[in-house]
């Protein structure tokens, strides 16, 4: 097995792991801790607080109807398919791992929206009354970190040109 295929398999395993952990955590929080009934303060700056998210990132594109819900499912599924194909075309593990984070997180949120009609959010980072983020979940965090890694790698890494492609210096 060549390294590119191995890297892709590792990436798909990362995506699957993020999906499984996200869904297990949401299930435990909803059915074990029952966070929909109360807020659980973990730290002075972090709580578990149940929120039904009918929108996407930052609460944008809120689905207020069944048609809107299915449009969001279709849109996010199309993005997930695009990311999956991108993973299959990449060769470097750094790029694949970042894309896998996006894919795993997207799959977790797509399943929520498909099964429940909304995405389960629960992580509330706050400093007094100031909340630098909306309430989010593990899938959202994986997507955000994956996108930031993709951006950083694309902005900071430069392909070195082949020595053969450079013209020979004149004597």
CA–CA gap between residue 30 and residue 49 (Å, rounded): 10
What are the structure tokens assigned to 96, written together?
């694949």
Contact between 54 and 63 under an 8 Å Cβ cutoff? The reply is yes
CA distances from residue 46 to 8, 28, 125 in whole angstroms, order as listed? 35, 18, 5
91: CB partners within 8 A, 6+ apart: 3, 4, 7
List 22, 95, 112, 140, catalytic entry: 140
What are the structure tokens assigned to 108, written together?
């977790």
What are the structure tokens assigned to 117, written together?
């009609």
Among this protein's residues, is 140 annotated catalytic? yes
DSSP string, 54-91: -SSGGG-S---SHHHHHHHHHHHHHHHHHHHHHHHH--
Among this protein's residues, is 121 annotated catalytic? yes
List 22, 112, 121, 124, catalytic entry: 121
Residues annotated catalytic, as ranges: 121, 140
């Amino acid at each position: 097995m060549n390294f590119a295929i191995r890297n892709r398999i590792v990436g798909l395993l990362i995506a699957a792991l993020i999906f499984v952990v996200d869904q297990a955590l949401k299930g435990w929080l909803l059915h074990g801790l029952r966070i929909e009934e109360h807020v659980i303060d973990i730290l002075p700056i972090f709580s578990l607080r149940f929120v039904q998210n009918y929108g996407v990132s930052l609460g944008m594109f809120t689905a207020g109807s069944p048609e809107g819900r299915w449009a969001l499912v279709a849109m996010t599924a199309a993005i997930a398919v695009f990311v999956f194909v991108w993973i299959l075309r990449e060769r470097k593990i750094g790029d694949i791992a970042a894309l896998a984070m996006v894919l795993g997180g997207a799959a977790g949120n797509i399943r929520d929206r498909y099964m429940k009609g909304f995405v389960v959010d629960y992580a509330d980072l706050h400093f007094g009354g100031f909340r630098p983020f909306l309430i989010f979940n593990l899938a959202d965090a994986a997507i955000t970190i994956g996108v930031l890694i993709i951006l950083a790698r694309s902005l900071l890494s430069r392909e070195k040109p082949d020595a053969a492609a450079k013209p020979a210096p004149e004597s």
